Chain A
Amino acid sequence: MIIQWLIVLAPLIAAPITLAAGKWKRNLAGIIASLSIGISLAISGITYFGVSSGSTYQEQFTWFSNVSYGIYIDPLAVTMALMVSFVSLMIHLFAMYYMGKDPNRHVYFVETSLFTAGMLGIAVSSNLLEFFMFWELVGLCSYLLIGFWFFKPNATAAAKKAFIVTRVGDLLFLIGIVALYEGITTSALSADPLGIQYLITHSSAVLAALGSTKLFFVTVMLLGGAIGKSSQFPLHVWIPDAMEGPTTVSALIHAATMVTAGIYLVARVYPLFVAAGPDMLYILAILGAFTAFMAGTMGIVMNDIKRILAYSTISQLGYMLSALGLFSIYGSAAVGISLYHLVSHAFFKAMLFMSAGAILIALMDLRDVRQMGGLWKKMPVTVTLLFIGSITLAAVPFTSAYFSKDTIISASWLYYSGNGSIMYALPWFLLELGSLMTVLYTFRMFFLVAIGKPRSFLAEHARDPPLVALIPVAILGFFSLVFGVFQGSFYNFVSGFSVSVKPVPLEIELIPLLMLVLGVAVAYLIYGTGAWSRLKLSRLPGYKFLKNKYYLDRLYTNVIAERGILPLSGAFGSFEDSYNTANVRAGRGVLSFGSLLRKLQSGIVENYFLVIIVAFSIIFVLVDLMGGF
């Protein structure tokens, strides 16, 4: 047993201890959970130094049959483990304040430490099926946490939706695993067919064994899992509803422990995606870009502060997925580029959610941004933190997202100019538009929240929370601002070779900045000063379409579920009922047939003989026809 097991085991073992201790003294729960994640963080840190000096850590045991489980830590895994444990720790510390008065907070901390354990398990798994097990643990914990306030009908409905929608993706993922397993086992390539190290170092052998069609199928299925977990189009519908959970849960889901899992899956087995061919990579690029744009448009029309942030997450994840499609530009360093945005997003999204959480506490859970306003004066520290998060999200120059996101956009232009055809321009085009959307919804939210006059009684009386509680948020804020300086070294570390950011023409590089200026100006004019306040969003064409979330929720709920599955189930159920009744009737029929047979028993021996002879002749003919005795 190597010490790295503790990365996963510390929060896992802490969960029951947290429960027991929390039953005894509620406040102990948060402390124990945070400590356990601190242990994970510390060991990840130690591992980081080992990995950066060139070693990988691994250890495997047999799980069952030819499936193993264990730990495999390379630069990618340790990066993820560091990010997850660090951000999760910050959120846990904040949650001790945020959940401080909830009577069930010990249960909350049990679930969040399991949640973190699951995500850390995903990061360091050595086998795809083990990966899947932790993946489902994460799914389960998100279900429990979204429905944490179990007495709220909305919360339980949202939890159910999250579980079922991600379950669809998960089962596609499972098909992918099954097909991969079957292909490798049949051709007896490896004694451990689902071992991650094997998969990423022998992708060409896997391609040769499976054939390109089947490998393509496998990667599409794996992508299906990633789409469900990372809430990409068309399985993104669960995440805005998931805002019904506590805000710290949203912070966890969006930054550290859930939605990044899908991106990480693709990054983890990236060589398989590359081996599946350029079409697969194009699918990644275009799907991510489309999601980035689409979620951005929906973010603009939402009024719930948490939902705006939720759509922004979907949109940013789109950038990460899209970055993974840019293999033809950066080679396998595309993973590093995607992961870099993932980490910087984790910092600023966690802090955005936590500052929003602090605002919600001050406003007694009033979530409508139209009712806020003027909060910068009322709660200066919190809103300053929100401001730092917002400018990072909008990729204002020299914040971390400026380096992480604009590199992706520039690369997508190179992707187009390298291939030439208009089809390849689409990701770039959508990503550029997406960045405009990002700026618009971010600053719309920020201006509505922070400046102007308070538009409700609650907003007038808002106060900053105790500053101690905001320390974790401030730490994340610090990282959001300065993380950009690590860009080059981050790429080199994750990729394992030295990566240089490819230059693009200045005019291309300036477009995102232009979008930024444009977006801020429009948002300011409409929502900041009120100069354009007559321009109502709701009067614009397409508003209804956006407000109804592209009608996808309706398609799933009202068409597929309510008009498809439920009537089908009703039909099967009624058939079953009548089948049961028919059985009873048939039983009665047999009984009356029995009394009919009684009459046959005439007692006349000749009749019996006749029947015997006829029966035997039939049997003999049958036997003869089928080849004799």
Chain B
Amino acid sequence: MFLAFIFGLLFAISLVTFLTGRYSSRFAMAGSVLILVLVAGYLLEVMQGYSGGITGKYSYPLNAEYQIFFSVGINGFTGPLLLAAAIVFPLSIYISLKEKYDGKFYGLMMLAETGLFGVLISRDMILFYIFWEFVLVPVFFLILMYGGEGRNSVALKFFVYTHIGSALILLAIFSLYAYYFSVYGIYTMQMSALTQPSFVSQIPLFWELFIVAGLMIGFLVKLPVFPFHAWLPDSYDVAPYPVTVAIAGGLSLMGGYGLFGIMLGLKSLFPALVLWILVGISIVSLIYFALTAMFQTSIKRMMAYASAGSMGFVLLAFAAGIMEESGVEYNLVLSGGMFQILAHAIIISLLFVNIFFIKLKAGTDTLGGLGGIYREAPVLSTIMLGGLLASLGLPGLAGFIGEFSILGGSFQAIGYLIFFVIFSMIITASYHIWMAQRTLYGPYNEHLGGIRDLSRPEMAVLGAVLILILVLGVFPSPLFSLFSSYAGGII
């Protein structure tokens, strides 16, 4: 009930934000922080001693005849993701305060957060789908109205790409729905019913492939992985920084949620060949994005590819986990994948927030235009370096826990293919460090004039996120055991 209340409150806040005029920025900031506090408090309360299953259930019938409910709830996986979303949005609104935006902007941002929350908490397939689509709309308008050069075509590309993915998801959902009716004679859109093993195992081969293909393509576009990623670099690049943070940190949770929140329940539908194809896609993505990122000349775009690269790990964890079926390693690799989704969201938000500040203070975010900014802005550079190290998977920071778990858990399934993964990690480390060398260190680029370091409040915000990443890396256990109990007891 409280969960539904938080959601309703968020929705109300986003609607009111449109009306608050020149107070909208402060209102959105306060609202999103309020939501963060509520979510954090709520999770602390309900996730104590969590041992699988769904908590915070609330259901309200929307259509009695076809059994469609407004049904929400969270589990050990979506709970932490919700928290990540609740952290990312205040961050992105925080940096938007440094620039001038109108009430519409903040309203759309809050609407996007509402949609994302809806996706994560829905326990009804059709509700899930509605929110999945719902998120696209505010983001589309945010890119279209506030984006940089080429925003028209980029916004359209973003919309068409993800929309095609969504359409496939809808078809697959309806197939599940219809087949459930043909087996049991009742209509239901409940996720728990549509993904229960006794039903899933009865689905015949044709529908099996259809459902897997539909849902997977939809989720892989959103994730994204090669070759479904063409919307990503442009959208990240063209969107204004606050929106980039929201997409990279917030919306990237959706693809991962699709895999681990929904597809995991349907894991018996996957033929071995499809799993190997997924492993192949993930490894190609890892290498492809790493090499492509190295080639970029804008830090923002480079980090967009880095973000896509970490998603290769998520897919690898998913595919390898299903291959292993059960056991300690099954649990480890899936928990690692989920950890990676969450860690990536926070790390990439920190990076984009940081690059925003570099752009704000130095006036440029290209590799060639920067250089040696450590001299003028040591704190900013240090936090940036912290983000980069987390992103390349340095132990002790959040990124490593996911990567180790994925490697350790998937080795049995993928064997010596691990060398390709390691190759991508070497390239990733190289371009991160190379970038740091060319932008943060070395002789100061005097063309930049004098630039300022972070102010104290900015330091506090960014430092807090970096400390969060450190804490997650050193004490992953509370979160990890949540994921692990979810992986052990998929509903």
Roughly how many angstroms separate A623 CA and B230 CA in the complex, as a whole number? 32
Q: Does B213 contact A (CB under 8 A)?
A: no
Give the dominant DSSP class at B's interface: helix
Q: Which residue in chain A gives the minimum CB-CB distance to B331?
A: A65
Partner of B437, one of A157, A188, A572, A628: A157
Roughly how many angstroms separate A64 CA and B335 CA in the complex, as a whole number? 10
Contacting A at CB under 8 A, from B13-61, are none
Task: With A569-B295, A626-B209 as known contacts, state yes or no: A164 contacts B430, CB within 8 Å.
Answer: yes
16 A–B contacts from the bound complex (CB under 8 Å):
A64-B480, A140-B394, A150-B442, A152-B443, A156-B441, A159-B437, A164-B426, A167-B426, A177-B408, A182-B329, A182-B412, A569-B291, A576-B295, A580-B230, A584-B153, A627-B206
Task: With A65-B484, A150-B441 as known contacts, state yes or no: A587 contacts B395, CB within 8 Å.
Answer: no
Q: Does A63 contact B (CB under 8 A)?
A: yes
Q: Which residue in chain B gives the minimum CB-CB distance to A186?
A: B412
CB contacts (< 8 Å) of A140 on chain B: these are 389, 394
Q: Which residue in chain A gives the minimum CB-CB distance to B477?
A: A64
Q: Which residue in chain B gives the minimum CB-CB distance to A151?
A: B443
Roughly how many angstroms separate A172 CA and B429 CA in the complex, as a whole number? 14
CB contacts (< 8 Å) of B481 on chain A: these are 64
Roughly how many angstroms separate A51 CA and B419 CA in the complex, as a whole number? 41
Roughly how many angstroms separate A5 CA and B206 CA in the complex, as a whole number? 60
Instruction: Other than A63-B476, A159-B437, A167-B429, give 18 A-B pairs with Cβ distance below 8 A.
Output: A64-B481, A65-B328, A147-B437, A150-B441, A151-B375, A152-B443, A153-B442, A160-B433, A163-B429, A178-B408, A181-B408, A186-B329, A569-B292, A570-B295, A576-B233, A576-B288, A628-B204, A629-B206
Q: Which residue in chain B gives the minimum CB-CB distance to A624?
A: B206
Chain A nearest Cβ from B331, distance in angstroms: 7
Q: Does B471 contact A (CB under 8 A)?
A: no
Q: Is the CB of A151 within 8 A of B408?
A: no
Roughly how many angstroms separate A574 CA and B422 CA in the complex, as a whole number? 24
Q: Is the CB of A579 within 8 A of B227?
A: yes
Q: Does B137 contact A (CB under 8 A)?
A: no
Q: Which residue in chain A gives the minimum CB-CB distance to B419?
A: A175
Chain A nearest Cβ from B471, distance in angstroms: 13
CB contacts (< 8 Å) of B400 on chain A: these are 133
Q: Does B434 contact A (CB under 8 A)?
A: yes
Roughly how many angstroms separate A135 CA and B400 CA in the complex, as a whole number? 13
Q: Does A179 contact B (CB under 8 A)?
A: yes
Q: Which residue in chain A gives the minimum CB-CB distance to B440?
A: A150
Q: Is the CB of A160 within 8 A of B434?
A: yes
Contacting A at CB under 8 A, from B417-468, are 418-419, 422, 425-427, 429-430, 433-434, 436-437, 440-444
Partner of B407, one of A174, A574, A622: A174
Chain A nearest Cβ from B439, distance in angstroms: 11
Q: Is the CB of A576 within 8 A of B292?
A: yes
Q: Is the CB of A580 within 8 A of B292?
A: no
Chain A nearest Cβ from B256, distance in angstroms: 19
Q: Does B273 contact A (CB under 8 A)?
A: no
Roughly how many angstroms separate A627 CA and B422 CA in the complex, as a whole number? 41
Roughly how many angstroms separate A576 CA and B443 CA in the complex, as a whole number? 32
Chain B nearest Cβ from A287, distance in angstroms: 21
Q: Which residue in chain A gives the minimum CB-CB distance to B444?
A: A151
Roughly how many angstroms separate A174 CA and B403 CA in the complex, as a whole number? 10
Q: Does B396 contact A (CB under 8 A)?
A: yes
Roughly how many angstroms separate A152 CA and B396 CA in the complex, as a whole number? 29
Q: How extensive is the interface on chain A, given as a class?
A: 35 or more
CB contacts (< 8 Å) of A171 on chain B: these are 422, 425-426, 429
Roughly how many angstroms separate A623 CA and B179 CA in the complex, as a whole number? 14
Partner of A62, one of B205, B233, B394, B477: B477
Q: Is the CB of B331 within 8 A of A132?
A: no
CB contacts (< 8 Å) of A584 on chain B: these are 153, 157
Q: Which residue in chain B gives the minimum CB-CB distance to A132?
A: B395
Task: With A178-B407, A181-B408 as known contacts, state yes or no: A587 contacts B160, CB within 8 Å.
Answer: yes
Q: Does B411 contact A (CB under 8 A)?
A: yes
Q: Is the CB of A629 within 8 A of B204?
A: yes
Q: Does A52 contact B (CB under 8 A)?
A: no
Task: With A65-B328, A140-B389 as known contacts, state yes or no: A572 contacts B288, CB within 8 Å.
Answer: yes
CB contacts (< 8 Å) of A364 on chain B: these are none
Roughly how many angstroms separate A626 CA and B203 CA in the complex, as a whole number? 12
Partner of A150, one of B227, B331, B374, B484: B374
Q: Which residue in chain A gives the minimum CB-CB distance to B395?
A: A133
Q: Does B332 contact A (CB under 8 A)?
A: yes
Q: Is the CB of B480 within 8 A of A65?
A: yes
Contacting A at CB under 8 A, from B354-402, are 372, 374-375, 389, 394-396, 400-401
CB contacts (< 8 Å) of B296 on chain A: these are 573
Chain A nearest Cβ from B346, distance in angstroms: 17
CB contacts (< 8 Å) of B408 on chain A: these are 177-178, 181-182, 185
Roughly how many angstroms separate A181 CA and B411 CA in the complex, as a whole number? 9
Q: Does A129 contact B (CB under 8 A)?
A: yes
CB contacts (< 8 Å) of B401 on chain A: these are 64
Q: Does A613 contact B (CB under 8 A)?
A: no
Contact surface of B with A, Cβ cutoff 8 Å:
153, 156-157, 160, 204-207, 209, 227, 230, 233-234, 288, 291-292, 294-296, 327-329, 331-332, 335, 372, 374-375, 389, 394-396, 400-401, 404-405, 407-408, 411-412, 418-419, 422, 425-427, 429-430, 433-434, 436-437, 440-444, 476-477, 480-481, 484
Chain A nearest Cβ from B20, distance in angstroms: 37
CB contacts (< 8 Å) of A485 on chain B: these are none
Q: Is the CB of B395 within 8 A of A136?
A: yes
Q: Does A475 contact B (CB under 8 A)?
A: no
Roughly how many angstroms separate A188 CA and B327 CA in the complex, as a whole number? 10
Q: Does A55 contact B (CB under 8 A)?
A: no
Q: Is the CB of B407 within 8 A of A568?
A: no
Task: With A160-B433, A164-B429 as known contacts, state yes or no: A137 contacts B291, CB within 8 Å.
Answer: no
What 6 pairs between A and B have smallest CB-CB spacing?
A573-B295, A133-B395, A64-B480, A572-B291, A569-B294, A626-B206
Partner of B233, one of A156, A177, A566, A580: A580
Chain B nearest Cβ from A19, distance in angstroms: 10
Chain B nearest Cβ from A259, distance in angstroms: 19
Q: Which residue in chain A gives the minimum CB-CB distance to B329?
A: A185
Chain A nearest Cβ from B490, distance in angstroms: 17
CB contacts (< 8 Å) of B156 on chain A: these are 587
Chain B nearest Cβ from A448, distance in angstroms: 32
Q: Does A168 contact B (CB under 8 A)?
A: yes
Roughly how many angstroms separate A584 CA and B231 CA in the complex, as a whole number? 10
CB contacts (< 8 Å) of A510 on chain B: these are none
Q: Which residue in chain B gives the minimum CB-CB distance to A62?
A: B477
CB contacts (< 8 Å) of A160 on chain B: these are 433-434, 436-437
Partner of B418, one of A178, A181, A587, A629: A178
Roughly how many angstroms separate A64 CA and B205 CA in the complex, as a whole number? 38
Roughly how many angstroms separate A133 CA and B404 CA in the complex, as a whole number? 11
Roughly how many angstroms separate A627 CA and B375 CA in the complex, as a whole number? 69
CB contacts (< 8 Å) of B405 on chain A: these are 64-65
Q: Which residue in chain A gives the minimum CB-CB distance to B429?
A: A167
Q: What 1/0 mask marks residues of chain A from 142 to 153 whose CB sits below 8 Å from any chain B CB? A: 010001001111
Partner of B230, one of A569, A579, A626, A627: A579
Roughly how many angstroms separate A163 CA and B404 CA in the complex, as a whole number? 19
Q: Which residue in chain A gives the minimum CB-CB distance to B287?
A: A572
Chain B nearest Cβ from A79, distance in angstroms: 25
Q: What 1/0 mask marks residues of chain A from 114 to 153 whose CB sits below 8 Å from any chain B CB? A: 0000000000000001001101110010010001001111
Q: What 1/0 mask marks residues of chain A from 587 to 629 whose CB sits below 8 Å from any chain B CB? A: 1000000000000000000000000000000000011001111
Chain B nearest Cβ from A214, distance in angstroms: 11
Q: Is the CB of A137 within 8 A of B396?
A: yes
Q: Which residue in chain B gives the minimum CB-CB distance to A156?
A: B441
